[in-house]
Amino acid sequence: MEFIKPGININFIGRRNIAFMLSGILIVCTILLLWWHGGPNYGVDFTGGVIVQVRLDKKHTPAEIKKALQAIQLEDSIIQEFGDKNHLEFLIRIKKTNIALTGLDEKVKQALIAEFGKGVEIRRVEMVGPRVGKDLRQKALFAIFYSLLFIAIYISGRFELKWMMAIIMAGSLAFVVYVTAIIGMSVTWFIIFAMMAILVLCWMMKLKYALGAIIALVHDVTITIGMFAFTDKEISLSIVAALLTIVGYSLNDTIIVFDRIRENIKRLRRKPFDEIINKSINETLSRTILTSSTTLFVVFALFILGGNVIHNFAFAMLIGIIVGTYSSIFVASPVLLLWHDNRYGNHKKGRSHPRK
291-309 pLDDT tens trace: 888 889 999 998 888 777 7
pLDDT category at 353 given cuts 50, 70, 90 is: low
Burial of 117 (0-12, 13-18, 19+ CB in 10 A): exposed
What is the spatial distance between Cα 92 and Cα 90, in angstroms, rounded to a whole number? 6
pLDDT category at 27 given cuts 50, 70, 90 is: very high
Same fold, 13-42+132-344 and 49-128: no
Give per-residue burial for 1-31: e unless 16+ CB within 10 Å, then b.
eeeeeeeeeeebbeebeebeeebeebeeebe
pLDDT category at 5 given cuts 50, 70, 90 is: low
- In the sheet with 120-128, reading across from the earlier edge strand, the strands are 78-82, 89-94, 49-56, 120-128
Q: Please choose, from the candidates 263, 285, 277, the residue with its C-alpha nearest in 3D space to the C-alpha of residue 337.
A: 277
Pick the CATH number of 49-128 from 1.10.3720.10, 3.40.630.30, 3.30.70.3400, 3.30.470.10: 3.30.70.3400
Over residues 46-70, mean pLDDT: 81
pLDDT digits 0-9 by tens, 85-108: 666 788 887 766 666 667 777 888
Is the pLDDT assigned to residue 237 strictly greater than 60? Answer: yes
Is the pLDDT assigned to residue 147 strictly greater than 60? Answer: yes
CATH topology classification for 13-42+132-344:
Multidrug efflux transporter AcrB transmembrane fold (1.20.1640)
Which residues on adjacent β-strands are paired with residue 91?
53, 80
* Of 52-61, 156-165, 326-335, minimum mean pLDDT range: 156-165
pLDDT category at 349 given cuts 50, 70, 90 is: very low
- In 3-state terms the chain splits into helix, strand, coil percentages (rounded to 5) of 70, 10, 20
SS3 category, 66:
helix
Is the pLDDT assigned to residue 131 strictly greater than 70? Answer: no
Looking at residue 328, what DSSP letter applies? I
Is the pLDDT assigned to residue 232 strictly greater than 80? Answer: yes
CB-based contacts of 15, cutoff 8 Å, min separation 6: 330
pLDDT category at 83 given cuts 50, 70, 90 is: low
**In the chain, what are the domain boundaries?**
13-42+132-344, 49-128
Q: What is the pLDDT of residue 100?
A: 65
